[in-house]
Structure 1
Amino acid sequence: MATTKWVVDPTHSEVQFKVKHLMITTVTGYFGSFNVEVETEDDDFTKATRTVFTADVDSISTNNEQRDTHLKSPDFFDAENHGQVRFEGKDYEKKGDDEYKLSGDLTIRGVTKPITVNVEFGGVVVDPYGQTKAGFTISGKINRKEFGLSWDAVTEAGNVVVSDEIKLQSEIQLVKQG
């Protein structure tokens, strides 16, 4: 079996997270700088031998500079000491026609925990420029406090400012390397 290498196409990919604010609205954040590398046997992603995702914490954006600075601080990601979020995939398992589960280890702030995310496989196509591309929609949830993102505040009325649950959502397009 031949090893096939795939890398992210950053212009056709996005990595975001969503968190409840004051438990009444959802704030969306993005990582502007990230990388994905996958190695498969031929073009079969269920036989991935390596899946690595990294995101640069300094690239976080919630469209609010003050909030972004707070997220990069020791209260949350502590970007100065922990500059990257990292996920290493261990198992890519088919669950339905185009539905998969990807399990692996997520590291945030120096804390590594196993997680499983849902993956919708969009397929493999050749683009107009002759590049072979694969598309994926990825979703999941984590508890931020399990990764040391433990800052908390409560309003005067007793409402939680930031929920513990973080929803993960990504659109990833990979390019097959020749």
Structure 2
Amino acid sequence: MATTKWVVDPTHSEVQFKVKHLMISTVTGYFTKFNAEVETEGDDFTKATSIVFTADVDSINTNNEQRDTHLKSADFFDAENHNQVRFEGKSFEKVGEDEYKLHGDLTIRNTTKPVTVNVEFGGVVVDPYGQTKAGFTVTGKINRKDFGLTWNAVTEAGSVVVSDEIKLNSDIQLVKQG
């Protein structure tokens, strides 16, 4: 069967994360520059032969320049030495009607760990311009300390400033190539 290549449509996709701040509120951040490429057998994503996602650490945006600078520093992502977050999918497993588990390896700061995320498949359609597109919502959680993002501080009352758990939420639209 022929290999089909799919690439991200960045104008119809977003990559978001959420983290608890002072354990009383949530801060949302985005990567504004990212890429995803998928190769499948035909149009069957469960037969993906390659799934690669990257995000440019320097594009992190939490709507606060001071916080973004801190996140890019050696305290967190160390963008100067580790400019990308990378996910390489290993398998795309169907678990429900339009529900899947995506298993793969996530690399942050040269630390690679296996990660499983939930994927809701929105379907495949042809847009008004004749392009075939596939849509996905990806959700999951990681522990930031597993990837060397260990900076923290404690308030006078003993609360931590940043939670260890990071919630991931992305909406990805892929465009069929060729």
TM range (shorter): over 0.9
* 1:80 equivalent in structure 2: 80
The amino acid that maps onto 1:109 is R
1:18-33 map, 5 Å: 18-33=18-33
1:1-178 map, 5 Å: 1-178=1-178
1:22-50 deviations in whole A, cap 9, x for unaligned?
Answer: 00000000000000000000000000000
How far off its partner does 1:51 sit?
0.1
How far off its partner does 1:144 sit?
0.1
* 1: CA distance, partners of 2:122 / 2:101: 14
User: Deviation above 3 Å: which 4+ runs of structure 1?
Assistant: none
1:102-160 deviations in whole A, cap 9, x for unaligned?
Answer: 00000000000000000000000000000000000000000000000000100001011
SS in 2 for 1:160: coil
* 1: CA distance, partners of 2:115 / 2:146: 11
The amino acid that maps onto 1:51 is I
1:47-101 deviations in whole A, cap 9, x for unaligned?
Answer: 0000000000000000000000000000000000000000000000000000000
* 1: CA distance, partners of 2:81 / 2:148: 13
SS in 2 for 1:46: strand
SS in 2 for 1:29: strand
| TM-score for both structures, normalised by structure 2 | 1.00
| % identical aligned pairs | 85
